[in-house]
Amino acid sequence: MPTQAPSENAKQEENIAFKVPDKGVFVSEYNEQIFRATRMPETVKILDTTLRDGEQTPNVALSIDDKLKIAQALDELGVDIIEAGFPVNSEGEAEAVKRIAAAGLKSEVCGLCRASKLDIDAALTCDVDSIHIFLATSKVHLEKKLKISRGEAVEKAVTAVQYGKDHGLIVEFSCEDGTRTDLEFLNTVHKAIEEAGVDRIDIPDTVGVMTPQAMMQFVSEIKKTTKVPLAVHCHDDFGLSVANSLAGILGGAEEVHCTINGLGERAGNAALEEVVMGLQAFYGIKTRINTRKMAFVSRLVSQLTGIAVQPNKAIVGENAFSHEAGIHVHGVLSESSTYEPMRPEIVGKERVFVVGKHSGVHAVQNKLKEYGLDLTGDQLKEVVARIKKYAESGKKLDDAELLAVAYDEISEEKEPVIRLEEFTVFTGLNFTPTATVVLNIDGDVRRASETGVGPIDASLSAIRTAVSKNIVLKQYRLEAITGGSNALCEVTVKLGDCEDSQLLALGKSVGSDIVTTSVDATVEALNRLWMHKLGANGDKVKRKAY
Ligand code: MN
């Protein structure tokens, strides 16, 4: 998993400027005809509320440092406004907002406030550029939650907006639960706050109860009586937040509230990545977002919040550009637009071919090529048949297992060349872990001892010393299969050769002792690497790979 944003900028301009349907997005022509007939803004502002509504996701709590990291990533991503938090909520929250406001970001930094001086003062202390004031206006919220009259609500709203403007802030205002507020009263509040100098008005679908058709109509009605720019803030309770956000734009809004990965209260908010790609791909509407950084920011937010992105999520999900079915893999390899509506690099992703039950020869061939293996047509057919057989018995093969099948198919050498004859390891407290291995490499007995930070490290070092220092450990994965201290573990080891980057081999072993299981997996990988280095069928004369 990359931990750094891709080091590019060169394509940024082209990316921001791209129009339907060229530059790697392949939407339907029918869609295009419809959108050309619709009135839309040229650009849309993105307010990202990952750090506010997103942080209100159940079980999410971010440290101040994490918030700062996310804010910096959002700034680089190109969001126009960062809603950094709710300063009055706690000292820690205020501190985070303060540090984000002081970080010298290009984005406007905004603090959330209720319609009260206390809240606005807290935001002022943080030195934010703007505040987002919210006050519920629907009947149920006024009567059951706030217990105030409509008249009192208007007064509170106006007083708060005036207070913010008197202190030199940019003020955005939300009538909370706006989509369940009657339109006439909503317009009354909007008119009053416009007179008080509000800069932007947001229309929140607080509990996600609109349809796209209704949202478009609702926003266009509001647009008739307001002068300041409108925003929409949609929740995903019915899975319509992105559709409703796009509909809000078609209705005349010029700003969208979104979160990375669609985090947010309950079912979440509209996902930034989906809204931005939807605006660009379907309507040719530009935003300042550098879409090539979206996958990176998505991963960062997922890591820091601990909320995994569902694999089948649009745009940034692990499967968004993965192909398994044989027909699809064949299609994508010939021309990606057959089964991909956009090129993965546009959103910072890579295309992945997964080998499984639905795979055909092309996917398997492609996957084996990643490991430098070139099989004949007959061999490939045999490997595919075996994979399907495994899959039908409910077993999904990972890369290591696929390679094991492939090697078994191509190798005449059924016995391993390298065998582990002896293995000892010592470890303990205040003791340097030390391992000794004796390997028999086709009759040549090699012995080596090494120390390491732990018993596995010492063992793998000893194996390298015995065979060759050119061998590098590329990946080590340990998984517990069952629970308890007597659990079975599964170890996957990926080895490479520092002189030949094409040489890669995987080994996998299951056992109850993590050290011996690791050693077994390594010896298995080593045998494959050895065979690989000699050529798949082994060089009968020149038997020494290392
Ligand atoms: Mn919300």
Per the CB < 8 A criterion, the answer to whether 518 and 476 are in contact is yes
Q: What CATH code would you report for 42-305?
A: 3.20.20.70
pLDDT of residue 22: 45
37: confidence class by pLDDT, cuts 50, 70, 90: low
Other residues' Cβ atoms within 10 Å of the Cβ of residue 438 = 16
Would you say residue 14 has pLDDT above 70?
Answer: no
Residue 257 CA to ligand 1 centre (angstroms): 9
Query: What pLDDT is attached to residue 21?
Result: 41
The mean pLDDT value of the chain amounts to: 89
What distance in angstroms lies between residue 172's CA and the mean position of ligand 1's atoms? Answer: 14
Identity of the highest mean pLDDT range in 66-80, 393-407, 510-524: 66-80
State yes or no: pLDDT of 6 exceeds 50: no
CA of 168 to the centre of ligand 1 (A): 25
Could you tell me where the DSSP H helices lie in 171-325? 183-195, 212-225, 241-250, 272-283, 294-305
**pLDDT tens-digit profile of 156-214?**
999 999 999 999 999 999 999 999 999 999 999 999 999 999 999 999 999 999 999 99
pLDDT digits (tens, 9 = 90+) for 200-245: 999 999 999 999 999 999 999 999 999 999 999 999 999 999 999 9
Neighbours of 538 (CB within 10 A): 17
Distance 194 CA to ligand 1 centre (A): 22
Where is average pLDDT lowest: 75-79, 248-252, 463-467, 534-538?
534-538
Cα dihedral across residues 279, 280, 283, 287: positive or negative: positive
Residue 265 or 399, more confident: 265
Identify whether the C-beta of residue 170 lies closer than 8 Å to the C-beta of residue 134.
no
Q: What is the CATH number of domain 322-410?
A: 1.10.238
At residue 413 the predicted structure's pLDDT band, cuts being 50, 70 and 90, is low
The pLDDT, as a whole number, for residue 23 is: 63
How far does the centroid of ligand 1 lie from the alpha carbon of residue 344, in Å?
A: 30
Distance CA 330, CA 116 (A): 61
Question: pTM, whole model, 2 decimals?
Answer: 0.75
Q: Is the per-residue pLDDT at 341 higher than 70?
A: yes
Distance CA 361, CA 380 (A): 6
**Tens-place pLDDT, residues 43-56:** 999 999 999 999 98
Distance (angstroms) between ligand 1 centre and the Cα of 265 equals 6
Nearest alpha carbon to residue 176 among 144, 196, 209, 202: 202
Cα separation, 425 vs 451, in Å, equals 9
Question: Ligand 1 centre from 120 Cα, in Å?
Answer: 19
Residue 220, token pair as written in the block = 């266009």
Residue type, 541: V
Q: How far is the CA of 256 from the centre of ligand 1 (A)?
A: 12
418-533 folds as: Double Stranded RNA Binding Domain (3.30.160)
Query: If you measure from the C-alpha of residue 436 to the centroid of ligand 1, how many angstroms do you get, rounded to a whole number?
Result: 60
What pLDDT shows up at residue 385? 87
Q: What is the DSSP string of 319-380?
A: TTTEE-SHHHHHHHHH-GGGT-SB-GGGGT---EE--STT--HHHHHHHHHHTT----HHHH
Report CA(134)–ligand 1 centroid distance (Å). 10
What are the domain boundaries of the chain?
Answer: 42-305, 322-410, 418-533
What is residue 18's predicted lDDT score, i.e. its pLDDT?
36
